[in-house]
Amino acid sequence: MLLVVAVVWFGNLEYRKLIRPDEGRYAEIPREMVLSGDWTTPRLNDLKYFEKPPLQYWATAVAYEVFGEHQWTSRLWAALTGLMGVLFVWYAGTRLFGREAGIYAALLLGSSMLYTLMSHINTLDMGVTFFITLGIISLCIAQKEVKEAARRNWMWLAWAALALSVLSKGLMGIILPGAALFLYSVFNRDIVIWKRMHWFSGLALFLLISVPWFVLVIKANPEFFERFFIYEHFQRFTSKVHGRYQPWYYFVPVLLTGILPWTFLMFDTLLRTWKETAQKMREFSPERFLLVWAVFIYLFFSVSGSKLPSYLLPMFPALALLMGKQIAQMRARRLFWLTVPVFAVVAILLGIVPFAAEKSADTPLQLEMYSNYGDWLLIAMALWLAGTGVALWLLRRENKMAAVILLAFSSLVASQLATSGYNTIAIERSSHILADAIRPQIKPEVPFYSVLCYEQTLPFYLKRTFTLVNFKDEMDFGIQQEPEKYVPDLGSFAERWNTDREAYAIVQVVNYPTVQKLDLPMQEIFRDEQYVVVKKP
């Protein structure tokens, strides 16, 4: 089963093209790290980029050094930490709730739609989810240990994991677990847990792992402190400065669809866990702690000024453990009735897919691409529906384990098919075709201007950076630190273009008439629906 999961899990990492913005950005930063040899200061398009810490950049850069710069190596860290999260939940579920509960928990986590999807997209969220999960669940295991040495070792692992989560995505790696632990101790009236944290040795280990990079990067870049700790943490949570504001109910549909096919089981589990642990006051209850953690994560990000679907990921392993325990204790007939609505949901999705392409498309090209993607989705949904139907039949025959395995595998395969099929519309969000077309004509030493735009995936595919012209976006801070690498307006661009012996430029089709008004000597070498690439003849 593990071998089959591994093949399905890693099988499509190279197949799909990188899509903007995240996959292009997080593939490019490690590439520039390897090229420059500077593993202290992250750079995007050769500009200082301090939004996130470097752990995933380092891991991806190592993958580049060992295996080469490919699409699959850029996604390897997300996929690897995603699968390691499933395996650790398997182990932890077995330790905390029994062997059967551990197997169920792993099956549930590895087939939840959002978790599976984000394990195959190059963002930082899966890495931090794994290390936070490793930290909080190691704490749970430590509290259940009777032997002092074993408890200490598990707490050391918890402290080390939280340090790595800080190096993955910042202070959330320690603030969120700390806040959840405080809330748990209040709700459960349990203060003993604070006495068994191994504070001195644990904090020493935490600081030893997490602090050195921060010291080095601040020494090399004094401006880092204000940008990273104030702007990227405090203002991200309290304001709309990052342009990711959504209403408080934003995560309702994200959670309901993201945890499919276990949505109805989740609600049943939350209610039962709350009732079952109500009598376990003043003693450590891993179920109660995981419940507090999952609810806290949901509420915390619901009130945040910045929201993305992937922010809910840290609650998924906790939910999987709680649901795995419930399934192990549940009769097959009850699980049958919690799965019936899933069959209806998948059937409805299967009926909607054929009409979605026409409704979503605005151009003939989009209609063709979305129709092709619709074919992938139809196959995925049909397989998922069939798997759900057979799982229901198995549940009626009291074969619970086989039913859960089949439903989990059909969900995982359907998710991977839907993810792979997205490649049919990647032309809209990827520059691989553009890069392949112009690569033979591009000389690495010749200036390449990105005018009024920045295509996030193009630097990775062309293996070079660009000079931005009158466009800052997320590179505004880096431009402030090194303004000499930036062209502020079209007039300055015209002067530099006329001075350069050779030069290239890329501009969006919609802005190309504005550039043409500069009356510069330009020869088109590529054009598609989105971009025009020119060179100086």
Note the pLDDT of residue 233.
63
Condensed to tens digits (0 to 9), the pLDDT of residues 135-180 reads 999 999 999 888 989 999 999 999 999 999 999 999 989 999 999 9
Note the pLDDT of residue 467.
96
- Torsion over CA of 221, 226, 227 and 231, rounded to 10 degrees? 170
Strands 467-469 and 486-487, bridge-based pairing: parallel
Structure tokens at 521: 């000597």
- Sequence-distant (≥ 6) Cβ neighbours of residue 324 within 8 angstroms: 89, 93, 97, 101, 102, 103, 104, 105, 106, 107, 108
Q: Which helix (H) or strand (E) holds 535?
A: strand 531-535
Q: What three-state secondary structure class fits 448? A: strand
Note the pLDDT of residue 283.
74
Peptide bond into 364 cis (omega under 30): no
Spatial separation of the C-alpha atoms in residues 290 and 143, rounded to whole Å:
13
Q: Answer whether residue 104 shows pLDDT above 90.
A: yes
Note the pLDDT of residue 234.
65
The larger pLDDT score, comparing residue 473 to residue 277, is at 473
Instruction: Produce one character per residue of 413-435: b if its CB has 16 or more CB atoms within 10 Å, e if not.
Output: bbbbbbbbbbbbbbbebbbbebb
pTM for the full model?
Answer: 0.93
Listed range (81-85, 227-231, 318-322, 324-328) with the worst mean pLDDT: 227-231
Mean pLDDT in the chain?
92
Q: Answer whether residue 187 shows pLDDT above 70.
A: yes
Note the pLDDT of residue 258.
95
User: Which of 158, 117, 123 has the alpha carbon at shortest distance from 316?
Assistant: 117
In the predicted model, what is the mean pLDDT of residues 46-58?
95
pLDDT bucket at 277, cuts 50 / 70 / 90:
confident
Note the pLDDT of residue 226.
84
Instruction: Produce one character per residue of 32-57: b if its CB has 16 or more CB atoms within 10 Å, e if not.
Output: bbbbeeebebbbbbbbbbbbbbbbbb
| Residue-wise DSSP of 266-333 | HHHHHHHHHHHTTT-TTS--HHHHHHHHHHHHHHHHHHSS---GGGGTTHHHHHHHHHHHHHHHS-HH
- Torsion over CA of 386, 388, 393 and 394, rounded to 10 degrees? 120
In the predicted model, what is the mean pLDDT of residues 183-198?
87
In the predicted model, what is the mean pLDDT of residues 297-310?
87
Note the pLDDT of residue 235.
63
Q: Residue 399 — φ and ψ, nearest 5°?
A: -100, 75
Q: Answer whether residue 17 shows pLDDT above 60.
A: yes
Q: Tell me the β-bridge partners of 526.
A: 533
Note the pLDDT of residue 70.
96
CB of 273 closer than 8 Å to CB of 188: no
Note the pLDDT of residue 246.
74
Which residue is it, tokens 């530099």?
496
Q: Answer whether residue 243 shows pLDDT above 60.
A: no
In the predicted model, what is the mean pLDDT of residues 324-333?
95
To the nearest 10 degrees (0 to 180), the angle between helices 251-258 and 286-303 is 140
Q: Answer whether residue 518 shows pLDDT above 60.
A: yes
For the chain, domain boundaries: 82-330, 343-426, 432-535
Q: Residue 505 — φ and ψ, nearest 5°?
A: -150, 145
Note the pLDDT of residue 229.
79
Describe the chain by its helix, strand, coil percentages, rounded to 5.
70, 5, 25
Q: Answer whether residue 6 shows pLDDT above 80.
A: yes
Q: Residue 325 — φ and ψ, nearest 5°?
A: -65, -40
How much of the chain, in percent, has pLDDT values that exceed 70? 96
Q: Answer whether residue 238 shows pLDDT above 70.
A: no
Note the pLDDT of residue 101.
96
Q: Answer whether residue 216 shows pLDDT above 60.
A: yes
Note the pLDDT of residue 365.
78
pLDDT bucket at 241, cuts 50 / 70 / 90:
low
Q: What three-state secondary structure class fits 52? A: coil
Note the pLDDT of residue 275.
84
Note the pLDDT of residue 137.
96
Structure tokens at 215: 């010291």
Spatial separation of the C-alpha atoms in residues 311 and 259, rounded to whole Å:
14
Note the pLDDT of residue 306.
76
